[in-house]
Amino acid sequence: MSAKFNENRLAQILLAPVISEKATSVAEKHNQVMFKVLRDATKPEIKAAVELMFKVEVDAVNVVQVKGKVKRSGRTIGRRDHVKKAYVSLKAGQELNFTGEAA
């Protein structure tokens, strides 16, 4: 599947795994893993990137656009960056473990 995509681009698509309570509960209940991805990444690209990086079989990919919050520090008002998150469903029997890779 990754023959269609540029491997350099695939290496840049996954920005970071999301490690949070929600991500952990989703992983346990639905065998899904959550990633922050590039904002212009497509579902097929995300699937190919996960399969290439982690050598697992991906069942489905769902994406969510998270709008950046407006925050203020003193009198200056700023905005956090918009983020795209990908919920990656793994096929039955597949598992991803970040304990060794996450720094």
Residue 19 and residue 98 in contact, taking contact as beta carbons nearer than 8 Å: yes
Q: Does the structure show a pLDDT above 70 at 103?
A: no
Domains and CATH numbers, the chain: 2-90 (3.30.70.330)
101 SS3 class: coil
pLDDT digits (tens, 9 = 90+) for 35-81: 999 999 999 999 999 998 888 899 999 999 999 999 999 999 999 99
pTM of the predicted structure, to 2 decimals: 0.82
